[in-house]
């Protein structure tokens, strides 16, 4: 099986066609064509020729529950699943269901930018629990949870929810069971419900695996989707796993209020095809290429940009880089790279922390090499 990277120019690609002529290492989708088994499933569905309203049938739930049970030892029942069009709509609906306007919701910054907008759009208050940076001996760095601070902010009775990013985007952390256990204990003690976004759960470093948060806290609400791992975000399918019937009723009502209760047939077929042995074999290749690219990037930075430490990448395909030694804001650097190098990276300000950039390495290695060359050339002026 060979990974294919077709040209995405002039295909209506948000990543590539938003600013033609620029190398886009920004928004979080991959440049690899999805798994052949998914493409074949979608072709069969197209051949049918009718694309009416979709009934999600038992084989969808079978594929979902079997995948997580056998691959991740995460067991849940089909009646605990609420399907919807994406993880962000899922999070927004859960907030609407469980938090009143003005209440606080904890995020662990730097963190996925849509967490902020989902909280604001529901009239709630962002409460930051900043991750603590840990410098490593090889000029890399990582993050850990500041548990003392988490205990303090969740003790506020107006704080009702915590949005967990597991694995974490953009810090690249693969949270350990002991870390998740301690987070769970603090949140339970302070009556804070955890919502865990696990969209990047398949994209872990070779030889590692992620810990589903619900295996630590069975009352957690978990959001899942194959979209990141299988590059199917445009097919718009995701699932909320909620074990508590009363809470599930509230969330289901909010899903309907937000009008994200219908999904398209292609998303359904893609999930069923992804969560198979053929999908698993393709995924193993993707993970291998991502970590080859990560090694390429870290080697390049060590040789050519040693003043910019790179975060340890345990999961996702999004690399977090410290640019503070350049003495300019991340927003300024984003615009300079666009203007001088035709290169697009995400500024850390999107994720609540200036002085960093996020680089998407889910692309052909030759493209990554060219992007790194442009980056170094632009910064040498």
Residue range 198-252, pLDDT digits in tens: 999 999 998 899 999 999 999 999 999 999 999 999 999 999 999 999 999 999 9
Beta carbons within 10 angstroms of residue 108's beta carbon: 24
The number of CA neighbours under 13 Å toward the Cβ of 298 is 17
pLDDT at 2: 75
Give CA–CA dist 195/164, Å, rounded.
6
Say whether pLDDT at 57 is over 70: yes
pTM: 0.97
For residues 347-356, give the mean pLDDT: 98
% the chain with pLDDT above 90: 98
Residue 381: pLDDT band by 50, 70, 90 thresholds?
A: confident
Scored b (16 or more CB within 10 A) or e, 191-228 reads ebbbbbbbbbbbbbbeeeebbbbbebbeebbbbbbbbb
Residue range 271-310, pLDDT digits in tens: 999 999 999 999 999 999 999 999 999 999 999 999 999 9
For residues 245-262, give the mean pLDDT: 96
Residue range 122-178, pLDDT digits in tens: 999 999 999 999 999 999 999 999 999 999 999 999 999 999 999 999 999 999 999
What tokens were used for 74?
Answer: 């995460």
Average pLDDT score, the chain? 97
% the chain with pLDDT above 70: 100
pLDDT at 1: 63
């Amino acid at each position: 099986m060979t990974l294919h990277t077709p040209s995405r120019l002039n295909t209506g690609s948000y990543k590539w066609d938003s600013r033609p002529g620029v190398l886009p290492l920004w928004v979080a989708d991959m440049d690899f064509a999805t798994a052949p088994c998914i493409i074949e499933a979608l072709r069969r569905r197209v051949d049918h020729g009718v694309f009416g309203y979709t009934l999600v049938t038992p084989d969808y739930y079978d594929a979902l529950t079997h995948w997580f049970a056998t691959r991740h030892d995460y067991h849940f029942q089909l009646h605990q699943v609420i399907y919807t069009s994406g993880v962000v709509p899922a999070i927004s609906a859960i907030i609407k269901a469980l938090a009143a306007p003005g209440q606080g919701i904890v995020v662990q910054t730097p963190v996925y930018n849509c967490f902020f907008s989902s909280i604001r759009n529901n009239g709630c208050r962002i409460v930051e629990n900043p991750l603590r940076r840990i410098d490593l001996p090889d000029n890399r760095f990582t993050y850990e949870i500041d548990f003392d601070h988490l205990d303090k902010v969740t003790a506020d009775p107006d704080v009702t929810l915590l949005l967990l990013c597991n694995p974490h985007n953009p810090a690249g952390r693969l949270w350990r069971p002991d870390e998740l256990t301690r987070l769970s204990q603090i949140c339970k003690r302070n009556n804070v419900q955890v919502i865990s976004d696990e969209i990047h759960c398949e994209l872990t470093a070779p030889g590692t695996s992620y810990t589903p948060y619900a295996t630590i806290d069975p009352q957690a609400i978990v959001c899942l989707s194959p979209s990141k791992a299988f590059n199917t975000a445009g097919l718009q399918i995701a699932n909320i796993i909620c074990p508590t019937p009363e809470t599930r009723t509230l969330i289901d009502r909010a899903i309907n209020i937000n009008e994200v209760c219908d999904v398209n047939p292609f998303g359904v077929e893609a999930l069923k095809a992804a969560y198979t042995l053929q999908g698993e074999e393709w995924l193993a290749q993707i993970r291998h290429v991502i970590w080859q690219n990560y090694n390429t990037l870290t080697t390049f930075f060590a040789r050519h940009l040693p003043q910019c430490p790179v975060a340890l990448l345990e999961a996702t395909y999004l690399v977090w880089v410290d640019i503070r030694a350049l003495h300019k804001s991340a927003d300024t650097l984003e615009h300079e790279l666009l203007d001088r190098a035709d290169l697009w990276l995400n500024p850390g300000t999107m994720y609540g922390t200036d002085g960093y950039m996020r680089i998407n390495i889910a692309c052909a290695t030759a493209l990554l090499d060219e992007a790194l060359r442009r980056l170094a050339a632009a910064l040498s002026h």
